[in-house]
Every structure is written in structure tokens, then in C-alpha cells.
Amino acid sequence: MDGRRADWYHRCMVRIGDFNRLEVTRLSRGGAFLSIGLNKQQEVYLPKKETPSGLRRGDKLKVFLFNDSKQHLAATTGTPLAKVGEFASLRVKEITQFAAFLEWGISKDLFLPRKYWPRQLQRGESVVVYLKLDYEKSGILGTGVLDEFFSSETGELRENQKVELLVFSSSRLGYEAVVDQKYRGLLYRDETFEEVDLGDVKTGYIKKVRDDGLVDVSLQPQGFEHAAPLAEELVLKALKRAGGFLPLHDKSAPEEVYRRLQISKKLFKKSIGVLYRRGAITIEKNGIRLN
């Protein structure tokens, strides 16, 4: 895209990579033309297959605007999987020497340059990207290098606040997630009681807002009363799978507790106390036994 094209993008009275309500300026056998400028001299074409029946000149139509494969502006009445300024998990449709192309939910695939890959990608897998508008080069594109797009202005967040999590990476410590399409969050592995995969969208809760702008999150509301039922269920299921006995006790290493149960040692100790008082287990010197 040359400088003239970039300048034209800037002068358009529309939001590229987003939905717009545009006026129909003229109709043709092949489709409709919609105004994208104040003087109605600049238009975008809408193919006939996307044109609602009964559409007339002067009507207003809600369309999504994007740059097509020729770097011209195009319109669709379809709904993409994400807009410019949003994070999304998208499936890799095709890989070339220089880029990957992601399924976007509309006729055009999303361009992901190789320099913006977060890792080596394979066709068919999903990758979390941020959609941005590059006026000078490629129009709308995705990037898996997410650091610069997170906000550190976390003043509106509160402990135990319910949030949406989009998981984008994992490590031995836990899972990193986009929090409410805005913040960078960390979900600790030893506090996760269910399977988590990259690209998953989960409901989470704010555990702690850190001074560095990062956010610790959990899949359960904070407080033992919320986590305990899940932990107790995990302990009982593990006991049944193991034939009724687990060699875990108060001297067991935290790593061993997590390896067997995927919960922290602190939560394990609280859970077996509850189960013991309920009469569900017996606490022995070398472990716990199912009654």
C-alpha cells in the first residue's frame, strides 16, 4: 500500500476493520455501492450475494469494512470473528514462506506476517492474535506478539471481579490470558482444577492486581469456601482411581501433591481436613484412605 493509499484510508469517514452504517448511493446488476465519504464521491462496493433483497438507493446498511486481496476497501454484511482492536483465537488456514492466513469468518482470511508469529505455527492449529490496522503496508493484519497492546491502567479492577479470560500461552508456572480484552493476566497452574488449552475462553475472577500492571486471576472466586468443593471432589476422585489409598500427607512435597491432584498443598491440607471430619477418609501416617 503506497502513501496515496494510506492517505486515502485516513480521509475515509469510516472505521476500517469495524462495522459502519453506510448509505446506498447506487445499485447495479452486480451489487450496491455505499458512500464512505462526506461528498458521496468515495464509494465501497458490496457484492450482489451480500445485498439484502429490496435494498434501495438512500437506504442505510450496516456493513463490516476491510481491505480485500487487492488492497482495495471492501464491504460485507457478514460478521468476522474479531474486529480491529480486539484479541481473538483464530485457526490457521494456510501457511506460506512469509505469512500465515487465519480463518476470519468472512470471505477474506486474516494476514499474519511471519515476523509476528508467537511461535512456530502449523496448519489447523489456533493462535491468539491482536488485530491492528497498518495503513502503510498491509491494511488489517494480525499479530501474535501481544505485549504492546495490553493496558496497565488497572484502577477499575477489583478483587473477585468476574472477567473473561482468553488463554494465549503456557509455562510451568501457569497460563497467560487476555483479561476482558484489555489486560494481561496470569492463571497459576497449581490453582487450576480443570483442563486449560491455548485459545480457550474461560470465565475467571480477579485474584490480585499487581503494581506492575499485571493481573493474577483464578477460575474460581477467591476464598476457601469457593475452591474447597472442587478440591474435595478432586481428592475423592483420585482416591477412587488409586484403589482407595494415596501416599500423600502433611510431609509430602508440594510438587508431589500437585503432580497427583493438580492443587496446591495448602488447599490439599484444608480439603482432607474437611473430608476427615465428614467421615469420608481416614488419615494415616503414610497417606489418606477412602472410607
CATH at 239 = 1.10.10.10
Asked if residue 81 is part of any domain, the answer here is no
Asked if residue 82 is part of any domain, the answer here is no
Cell of 27: 445499485
Helix (H, G, I), strand (E, B) or coil at 161: coil
> What whole-number distance in Å separates Cα of residue 41 and Cα of residue 235?
69
Residues 183 and 151 sit within 8 Å (Cβ to Cβ): yes
Asked if residue 207 is part of any domain, the answer here is yes
Residue 149 φ/ψ, nearest 5 degrees:
-100, 0
Mean pLDDT, to the nearest integer, of 221-242? 80
Asked if residue 160 is part of any domain, the answer here is yes
121 and 156 belong to one structural domain: no
> Which pLDDT value is given to residue 225?
56
> What whole-number distance in Å separates Cα of residue 183 and Cα of residue 203?
14
Mean pLDDT, to the nearest integer, of 187-214? 90
111 and 67 belong to one structural domain: no
What is the C-alpha end-to-end distance of the chain, expressed in Å? 71
Cell of 209: 492486581
Q: What is the mean pLDDT of the chain?
A: 89
132 and 191 belong to one structural domain: no
The residue range of the domain holding 140 is 87-147
55 and 99 belong to one structural domain: no
Which of 181, 183, 116, 180 is CA-nearest to residue 144?
Answer: 116
Asked if residue 136 is part of any domain, the answer here is yes
Determine which helix (DSSP H) or strand (DSSP E) holds 236, and give its type and residue range: helix 224-241
> Which pLDDT value is given to residue 1?
45
> Which pLDDT value is given to residue 118?
96
> Which pLDDT value is given to residue 65?
94
- Structural domain total, the chain: 4
Count of alpha carbons within 13 Å of 186, Cβ hemisphere only?
Answer: 15
Model-level pTM? Answer: 0.78
Residue 136 φ/ψ, nearest 5 degrees:
-80, -25
112 and 130 belong to one structural domain: yes
DSSP string, 49-106: GGSPTT--TT-EEEEEEEE-TTS-EEEESS--S--TT-EEEEEEEEE-SSEEEE--SS
Angle at CA of residue 107, ends 106 and 113, nearest 5°: 85
Residue 252 φ/ψ, nearest 5 degrees:
-65, 145
pLDDT in tens, 33-86: 999 875 666 889 999 999 998 899 999 999 999 987 666 889 999 999 999 999
